Structure 1
Amino acid sequence: MKITGQCHCGAIRFTATASPDKVAVCHCADCQIMSGGPFRAVLPVPVDQVELQGSPKQYVKVAASGNRRAQAFCGDCGTQLFATEADEPKTLNFRLGCVNERAQLNPVLQIWRDSAMPWLTELDGLPAHTRGRDSPLASS
């Protein structure tokens, strides 16, 4: 499947050929902290299947296991774009939020489920607002 995407400000864009049956949700503490949310959804794509326009900034996060992961983001707007192996990148794990076709990419597995927020299963029972301006969080 062809995917396209960009950072929030549009300084970095990408196109890629991805397998839609590879989408995963990660509940690890690093993904929670770096995404600012309770989990992160990712789509792994082989490096040779990606065309990247622009130059993301990167930093290397060393996990408790010793694994070195390069985290790529837009240096202008801060959008997190992907993570990859720090030393010899083979796969770019795109953050699903910056992929235009994200609504068509259903997760097929969850990892680090023991770290998941216990309230995630309760979300379906909460009131829903279809537009942000109708939300009690919207400013007047």
Structure 2
Amino acid sequence: MDRGFTDHPAFAGGCQCGALRYRVSAGPAKDSVCHCRMCQRATGNAFAPLVEVPADRVRWTGTPAEWASSSVAWRGFCPTCGTPLYYRSGNTIEFMAGTLAPRTAFDPVYNTSVESRVGWLGTLTHGPSKTTDPALAAGVRSYQAPEE
């Protein structure tokens, strides 16, 4: 496999509403962060944190919808809740790290397409930080599916 792939334990994940779940068997995987404009627009975010695995190691519960974002890539998402799940090209799938089950290890070894990195990204650690106010959180009813 390409440089940057390491052995990973099996992991799982899925969308917000629970209609789609995936399981990936143990084996080589690569954690990276893509800063390209296509990933920025596909995720609605500054970058896409991705876990790349061979597609033949993925098992689905439910069927993702796909959209061809270019002549060589497809973006997978939940047709019910719209959660962006992956980028697929060739024989690999790159899962969005935010869809991974809690406590799944994610340790990026690459930053790709850094020419499109947003300028403010490096300043995030310089500003003040705060946790969620438990009183405010107590009044929120989540409609998201339980996580694994």
TM-score by length of 1: 0.82
Verify the 8 A CA contact 1:18 1:44 in the aligned structure 2: no
Amino acid in structure 2 at the alignment position of 1:74: C
Give the match's secondary structure for 1:78. Answer: coil
Answer yes or no: is 1:55 the counterpart of 2:63.
yes
TM-score by length of 2: 0.78
Amino acid in structure 2 at the alignment position of 1:16: V
1:17 deviates by 2.6
Q: What is the CA–CA distance in structure 2 between the aligned matches of 1:74 and 1:28, rounded to whole Å?
A: 22
1:49–1:103 CA distance, 2 compared to 1 (3 A): closer
1:132–1:59 CA distance, 2 compared to 1 (3 A): farther
Cα RMSD, aligned residues only:
2.1
Amino acid in structure 2 at the alignment position of 1:77: C
CA displacement 1:62-89 (0-9 Å, x = unmatched): 2xxxx4211110000000111212xxx5
Q: What is the CA–CA distance in structure 1 between the aligned matches of 2:72 and 2:103, rounded to whole Å?
A: 27
Q: What is the CA–CA distance in structure 2 between the aligned matches of 1:75 and 1:107, rounded to whole Å?
A: 28
Q: What is the CA–CA distance in structure 2 between the aligned matches of 1:43 and 1:121, rounded to whole Å?
A: 22
What is the match of residue 132 of structure 2?
131
Give the match's secondary structure for 1:124. Answer: helix
Note the residue ranges of structure 2 that are not aligned, 5 or more in a row.
Answer: 1-8, 137-148
Count of residues in Structure 1 that have an aligned counterpart in Structure 2: 128
Amino acid in structure 2 at the alignment position of 1:84: R
What is the match of residue 72 of structure 2?
68
1:37 deviates by 0.8
CA displacement 1:26-59 (0-9 Å, x = unmatched): 0000111111111001111111111111011111
What is the match of residue 28 of structure 1?
36
Name which of 50, 69, 72 aligns with 1:42: 50
Q: What is the CA–CA distance in structure 1 between the aligned matches of 2:28 and 2:121, rounded to whole Å?
A: 23
Amino acid in structure 2 at the alignment position of 1:111: T
Fraction of identical pairs, as percent: 32
Give the match's secondary structure for 1:22. Answer: strand
1:32–1:102 CA distance, 2 compared to 1 (3 A): farther
